């Protein structure tokens, strides 16, 4: 289905407008696919991102600023995301008794184990999303998308 069919318009859209709308539609499709892959774990895409950031710390703590700076979606409320992950037992928070503003966040063993399972589900979703692309297609796509960000 093309963009015009999705928008239910018979008038062809100007190319730049069509391209932006197409990117937005693809974004939501990808996000929904990842959301469905993570649904059995009762974790959102931003929560999954926090878990991956903490795993990347290799056992070292991260603070909220570090996590927020590495988030894919900068609009996320990092404190709320961390609180939800604490409630699930996936992360723990240490507050420095001498300086209550110093908060260290760690991935728990349960969080690391669950993350390994989530990785499998997300890898399957990614494979499905990208199944029609060759490696060269994906390199070309990434080169084109890099031009938007610069």
Question: DSSP secondary structure string, 48-106?
Answer: HHHHHHHHHTTT--B-HHHHHHH-SSTTS-HHHHHHHHHHTTSEEEEE-SS-TT-EEEE
Q: 140 in a domain, yes or no?
A: no
107, containing H or E segment: strand 103-107
- pTM for the complete prediction? 0.88
Domain of residue 127, residue span: 3-131
Q: 150 in a domain, yes or no?
A: no
7-34 pLDDT per residue, tens: 777 788 888 988 898 899 999 999 999 9
Can you give the CATH number for the domain in which 70 is found?
1.10.10.10
- Tell me: pLDDT of 91 over 90: yes
130-143 pLDDT per residue, tens: 999 999 999 999 99
């Amino acid at each position: 289905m093309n963009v015009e069919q999705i928008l239910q318009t018979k008038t062809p859209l100007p190319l730049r407008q069509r391209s932006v709308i197409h990117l937005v539609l693809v974004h939501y499709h990808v996000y929904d696919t990842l959301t469905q892959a993570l649904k059995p774990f009762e974790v959102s895409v931003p929560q999954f991102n926090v878990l991956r950031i903490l795993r990347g710390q290799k056992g070292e703590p991260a603070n909220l600023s570090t996590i927020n700076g590495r988030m894919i979606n900068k609009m996320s409320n990092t404190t709320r995301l961390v609180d939800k992950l604490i409630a699930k037992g996936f992360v723990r928070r240490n507050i420095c008794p001498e300086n209550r503003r110093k908060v260290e966040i760690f991935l728990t063993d349960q969080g690391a184990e669950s993350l390994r399972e989530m990785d499998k589900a997300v890898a399957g979703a990614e494979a499905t999303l990208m199944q029609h692309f060759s490696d060269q297609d994906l390199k070309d796509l990434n080169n084109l998308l890099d031009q938007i960000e610069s």
